[in-house]
Structure 1
């Protein structure tokens, strides 16, 4: 494992005067149609944690902001509900409450959000951004001030995942005076939770503490879970030109959420059963540190350096390897006395063993960046120049055994069959530069990002045998981008952009464990590279209304697909083309009345999502897996200055294929066949009496209690049944 950086080194890095400023102290944003959720977006001074630029009207690409007002009025149940109205996004909610979230953009496979760059305050959230971009953690909404979604050419400054889009969870800033709040919520399915926020501040800076707890039953029986998170954030204003910001976080999840689905027969009997759920487990611990030094050179130039460190440790235990292997029913394969293929029941599970997969992921890096306004070329411009040094170290182990005692991880490590020890380290240097030219009503934004990375693989143990096999690979990738926007009509922006997308190959997928001694030991999946283009318009020209429309196209050179369980290959060329629409009308603003009835809707039509030319020609022309053609959300609401906001709406997702062959007939193991379309009914009510410090809210998901299928990745998985919760927030 990489040696943890010493604190003295971190402080030295943060105070280097030659480093550049990212979005520190960005000036107040001008009125613009930032999203379809409001007529005009007038936000407070953008913090250093934002990935959006100062002048939103100049952004040469599609984006959406789910702001604090929307989060507070809607009270989304999880990240899934917070993002499901954003056009272009498809979320597969196979776990409850946003655990292990699966987000796909513009027809891309949503599995573990691997093709969507998830960030908190500009720092990646994955287990390992290059080696294993899996999202087992997303920022709890209690700490979020707003969510920024960027899908177009504005991705040049960030990486490494840029084939789909970016989502940045912007956390609440430290207060400038004493403030505190307590939130309590309770709902069906034994759900309960709480959030405590307390902080104080002044001209010197501020400090703030967040504590979050959530627990309840999962989607399936015996899938109970509990999460806890503690975050300490501070800011120190050294003088008028220098600011230090620090954030330390600790998160833990303990759940019985199984990573396997059901066979076809089991699913037909009871969609929500989990035969081994009482013994299966997923334990996750995340420690994070983020430090920033911001130096204001003058009114037109700022310097910022960011240092981050993340330590992820996860361990999962499962007793079922192949769901539905017994004629549509699942089997437990590791049981005492040499028995094999024992029916997966709660009783049998108690007397059998299983498989532990403990994994450790550690990454850290630092990023200096310069933001400067200039007229070097005789044209008013905003420039960004920077680089990021990034290191990763991960270790993947696996222990198996038939002894029931193996259900304890400590026993498994001491007495189990040690099947796998795979170690991966990654070194990366990313350089980027971008300049926005302001040419009257026009803006032109060329940019370039260069990803220079090296991955090293050390197979210490595989299939229970010591190996000592090692391999390394280096690559330099050039990722240009160009965008333009036109603002010749009031409160309206027409934009167009093109950029090169990139997703690095995952080293763990490159190992052929069946042939470590031969020439085929490394399969060497190529990096995914794409050409992304879009053209669109966003406008709040008419009083009380706003809308956006974007036509997009993504051409992949070498898309990576799952050929079979645990085996990934480059699937050749593919194409994603579609249109995104969103809009909102506030009749209270249209008719100048305090009674505001509003309608807001979004629609995504990915009319092309196909293999253009796959590696063996068997899937050419077929539709890509987990890429529904139509996704729509419609909400009808009412709000009034007395403090009430109520809404009711529906979410629709059309049918999907789940494999490159576009199988229509359901297999007994549940992994083949269609996913039918589904429509869900949701509602929420929020009430904050005028002058009161208390806010009351009730929110409901899938109110019609519709049973629906959402995934076949590892067997059949049902979506969440009816979930209703209510709560009170009190501000001190």
Structure 2
């Protein structure tokens, strides 16, 4: 009797419902994990793909997405707040600022608040509730889009269980950290449901002068329901609904420290930023319908609606940091709170986002002239917008306290609406030419229209400047795998890279355009898995999205800036396995390494930056892109009640601008390299009850990992937590 499975990535964009056939008289839960969920199948995929499984996540009980993903080669992670609330994820050299150059998905649906009009992901799913994470690079990314210059990251939420199952997890630790994660769900032949919540609080590890600490409170709720066809139905089909809601209040700021103050106390924060706080709310409605019309043809339809509202109330005082770093004693006194200071503007970075769409895809398995085809094709109609209304509250610092003075209406740049309408198509065919040789042909089409309208008054009755743009791109790709034997597979691929330019673009701006190549091999033999892939991306157009978090090379903090032509080359390597010892003991090992070399390959148009430099030139480097990234995980498992795991991660220093390679740089132009070691020990009291002790940053090593936008910041200090988990 045929068996049916559905991969999480194809849950959204490719209905692989009949990858192994399905009989109508044998209904199965369609919300299951296969392909990327099956480590054996990873070795036959036509490109670079990596899975962070539920077992991997449970090893360390991480709640920070940066820690969860750092064993994935080809991925760069830049910390900011120490908790991974708004991560900066880059793939294969694509800019990592707010993960704005990757296709970011949850359960196969684009999850960035406005992926086309404002791609920077100021919302990110609560990492502590994720069941698995998938990363795709190479030609396979053409199925998911629109960001194909780097790759796709799909986060899998907790799935409806077979039968009935639940979990309660409680954790408490240093710096007032505590969290609750609990869910319960059940299934019958034709129905299924799940309810889940994840609650996270912390006092924070940064102490604010004269104001306590920067606390965090985040709550997330998830509800799923499923209806499936009964046994004997004409067609096997399934309808799912997913409802999600989250809130966050966190005392996060963009203001860092001077290097001198950081050397004295890296976890200090200036009192002039005491009012800084992020407040946000996010909600999702997602409907999935899947139907197998035959053993070889199936359809999958998804409709989604995401809404995100945020107000990041924060000060911008980078000029004071720069002046104090240069030795200005008055600037230092203002930061210390010992000198009065006027015109402390704290902006309500208030934005509302909407993202909605429908996507339909099909999977057809057929034979032509004796050659097997696994053909997938689909279409997505998508709309998103971002509405900014950002007034500034004015304060004065008097005797170290902030005194309210009044409110300034937003300028036109802070009173604007950006919109995007996009239609995308894809065709993806995996062709088994021989028992050893498989060819993958892909084609994606992106057609989008963007617009931005600025307003001159609060009522928005006086329109200011406006801009619009239309972009259409055909994105082909080709890849192959060749199985030399049962253990070794060669792979290679080439595809067209694209990233939309955002709603701030003007007519004719194309966004990122590149030709991406990869080639390497996989070795799978017994307890050992090895993969090594070289990649090369030739950009004919490189665009940086400007933001306050990371201003563009010309000093602007909104819109975008064209860096021109560039080249990115690198090497990814990973190795893993588990060795069995005597008496049932085992030692797992996993390691990954990424080398990246990126540079501007053609002089750009001249301009003068805020620091007086001329325009970008051939040979200039990329900002915030480490040359070497390395991670290794190991441990020991008793095979019975207890296990201990260790992971160590290294990241090179990074240039904070595009000019590090020109010489005449100083300490303020780079971050610092860093080794971080995390540890976790688990003990099973019974088959259902387990306890654990975890220590993040075991050696308490802290270094400057970020200087954008306003001063130096370090990673999280050593933090120990105790937890207990009960499954029922």
TM-score normalised by L of structure 2: 0.85
Partner Cα separation in structure 2 for residue 170 and residue 417 of structure 1: 42
The equivalent residue for 1:468 is 464
User: 1:10 corresponds to which residue?
Assistant: none
Residues in 2 aligned to 1:592 and 1:552: alpha-carbon distance in whole angstroms: 41
1:531 aligns with 2:515: yes
Q: 8 Å contact 1:320–1:330 — kept in the other structure? A: no
Counterpart of 1:515 in structure 2 is none
C-alpha change, 1:566 and 1:538, in structure 2 (3 Å) is same
TM-fit CA distance, 1:249? 0.3
Contact 1:225 1:254 in 2 (8 A): yes
Distance 1:415 1:682, change over 3 A: closer
Q: Closer, same or farther in 2 for the Cα pair 1:310/1:404, shift >3 Å?
A: farther
Aligned to 1:571, the other structure's residue is in SS state strand
Picking from 300, 304, 308, the partner of 1:312 is 308
Q: 2:617 aligns with which of 591, 597, 619?
A: 619
* Deviates further, 423-432 or 87-96: 87-96
2:82 aligned partner: 96
Shift of 1:116: 1.9
Match of residue 594, structure 1, among 564, 584, 608: 584
- After the TM superposition, which residues 514-663 of structure 1 pair with which residues of structure 2 at under 5 Å, given as runs? 525-541=509-525, 543-561=526-544, 562-563=552-553, 564-566=555-557, 568-588=560-580, 594-606=584-596, 608-616=597-605, 618-662=616-660
- 1:52 to 1:430, Cα distance in 2 relative to 1, 3 A: farther
What corresponds to 1:196 in structure 2?
Answer: 182
Deviates more, 1:415-424 or 1:188-197: 415-424
Q: CA 1:666 to 1:77, structure 2 compared with 1: closer, same or farther past 3 Å? A: farther
Distance 1:503 1:566, change over 3 A: same
**Separation in 2 of the partners of 1:205 and 1:215?**
34
Residues 246 and 175 of structure 1: CA distance in aligned 2, closer, same or farther (over 3 Å): same
Name the counterpart of 1:231: 222
CA contact (8 A) 2:160 2:185 kept: yes
Q: Of the candidates 41, 61, 65, which is equivalent to residue 47 of structure 2?
A: 61
Give, in angstroms, the shift of residue 57 of structure 1.
4.2
> In the alignment, what sits opposite 2:121?
135
Of 450, 472, 475, the residue aligned with 1:455 is 450
Query: Which blocks of at least 5 consecutive residues in structure 1 are unaligned?
Result: 1-18, 30-43, 332-338, 406-410, 511-521
Equivalent residue number for residue 719 of structure 2: 723
Deviations 1:112-141 (A, max 9, x none): 111122110001121211111122333334
1:417 and 1:464 in contact (8 A); partners too: no
Could you tell me whether the CA contact under 8 Å between 2:420 and 2:503 is conserved in 1? no
CA deviations on 1:199-223 (whole Å, 9 max, x unpaired) are 1221122111111111113353232
Contact persistence 1:51–1:148 (CA under 8 A): no
The structure-2 alpha-carbon separation of the partners of 1:618 and 1:470, relative to structure 1 and needing over 3 Å to count, comes to closer
Alpha-carbon distance, 1:230 to partner: 0.5
Does 2:287 match 1:294? Answer: no
1:22 lines up with 2:20 in the alignment: no
Q: Residues 72 and 644 (structure 1 numbering): CA distance in 2 closer, same or farther, change over 3 Å?
A: same
Q: CA deviation at 1:325?
A: 4.8
State how far apart, in whole Å, the 2-side matches of 1:297 and 1:403 are: 65
Say whether the 8 Å CA contact 2:181–2:198 is kept in structure 1: yes
Aligned partners of 1:125 and 1:546: how far apart in 2?
A: 32
Secondary structure of the residue aligned to 1:99 is: coil
Quote the residue 2:610 is aligned against: none
Whether 1:82 aligns to 2:68 is: yes
Q: Report the CA distance shift for 1:354/1:145 in structure 2 as closer, same or farther (over 3 A).
A: closer
Greater mean deviation of Cα atoms: 257-266 or 103-112: 257-266
**Aligned 8 A contact 2:470 2:507 in 1:** no
* 1:177 correspondence with 2:173: no
CA distance in 1, matches of 2:321, 2:158: 48
**Pair 434,495 (structure 1): closer, same or farther in 2 beyond 3 Å:** same
* Number of residue pairs aligned between Structure 1 and Structure 2: 667
How far apart are the structure 2 equivalents of 1:657 and 1:21? 39
CA distance in 2, matches of 1:565, 1:717: 22
Cα distance, 1:353 vs structure 2: 5.2
Residues 575 and 590 of structure 2 are in contact (CA less than 8 Å); yes or no, is this contact kept in structure 1?
yes
The CA deviation at 1:565 is 4.0
Which residue among 401, 404, 421 is the counterpart of 2:415?
Answer: 421
Residue 704 of structure 2 is aligned with which of 696, 704, 709? 709
Q: In the superposition, relative to structure 1, how do residues 341 and 458 fare at CA in structure 2: closer, same or farther (>3 Å)?
A: farther
Instruction: Report the secondary structure of 1:391's partner residue.
Output: strand
SS state at 2:489 partner:
strand
Cα drift, residue 403 of structure 1:
5.1
RMSD: 3.1
Counterparts of 1:144 and 1:609 in 2: how far apart (Å)? 32
* d(CA) in 2 for partners of 1:20, 1:545: 32
The secondary structure found in structure 2 opposite 1:164 is coil
Question: Where does residue 153 of structure 1 map in the other structure?
Answer: 139
TM-fit CA distance, 1:467? 4.0
Q: TM-score, normalised by structure 1?
A: 0.85
Q: Answer yes or no: is 1:112 the counterpart of 2:90.
A: no
Deviates more, 1:284-293 or 1:54-63: 54-63
Change in Cα spacing, 1:111 to 1:22, as seen in structure 2 (3 Å) is same
| 1:708 CA drift (Å) | 0.3
Change (3 A) 1:448 1:600: same
Unpaired segments ≥5 residues, structure 2 = 1-11, 23-27, 208-212, 398-403, 545-551, 606-614
Shift of 1:442: 0.9
Shift of residue 354, structure 1, vs aligned partner: 1.9
Which residue in the other structure is 1:303 paired with? Answer: 299
* Cα offset, 1:604, TM superposition: 1.0
8 A contact 2:475–2:496 mirrored in 1: yes
